[in-house]
Amino acid sequence: MKKLILILFLGLGITFAVGRVNKNSVGNKMFNSTAFSQQQTNIKTPISISELKAGITDDISKSYPDYKILEAYKVENTDGKILSYDVLIASNTKKIDLFYDKDGNYLSKRDVVNPIPSYQL
């Protein structure tokens, strides 16, 4: 009985040791850490409302006359090239996130789930 238990433990230990995955590998493929580190990340930076393109503020005032701009962001790549704009607007009971391209053209919107009390506007 002791030999059987010893064999099971040894077998499991070897299986576990062989089955360990190297930190730099996924399955049988190695990560190219240089290529992975060279991927660009986008940077979202708060901006003042006056820094928004005129087309963006015009679109908001026409499409959402009862809304107020709460926050504005520019999204840039690591080279400082503006990729898009993100604008958070709110009415007394609803928040909406609006997305515009680098030229100020409307892309999409996302309703913010948690409405805010009007005293916070």
Helix (H) or strand (E) segment spanning residue 94: none
Q: Please tell me the distance from the alpha carbon of residue 63 to that of residue 67, in angstroms, as a whole number.
A: 9
CA angle 70, 57, 107 (to 5 degrees): 90
Confidence at residue 117, expressed as pLDDT on a 0 to 100 scale: 61
Confidence at residue 41, expressed as pLDDT on a 0 to 100 scale: 86
Supply the range of the domain harboring residue 111. Answer: 40-120
Confidence at residue 113, expressed as pLDDT on a 0 to 100 scale: 84
Confidence at residue 84, expressed as pLDDT on a 0 to 100 scale: 96
State the maximum Cα–Cα separation within the chain, in Å, rounded to a whole number. Answer: 83
Confidence at residue 15, expressed as pLDDT on a 0 to 100 scale: 46
pLDDT along the chain (121 residues), means of 10: 54 48 43 49 94 96 96 94 96 94 96 70 58
Confidence at residue 23, expressed as pLDDT on a 0 to 100 scale: 42
Q: Are 69 and 63 in contact (CB under 8 A)?
A: no
Using a cut of 0.75, tell me whether the model's pTM lies above it.
Answer: no
Q: Please tell me the distance from the alpha carbon of residue 63 to that of residue 109, in angstroms, as a whole number.
A: 12
Domain count, the chain: 2
Confidence at residue 9, expressed as pLDDT on a 0 to 100 scale: 54
Confidence at residue 82, expressed as pLDDT on a 0 to 100 scale: 93
114 and 65 housed in the same domain: yes
67 and 98 housed in the same domain: yes
72 and 17 housed in the same domain: no
DSSP one-letter code for 78: T
Confidence at residue 16, expressed as pLDDT on a 0 to 100 scale: 45
111 and 54 housed in the same domain: yes
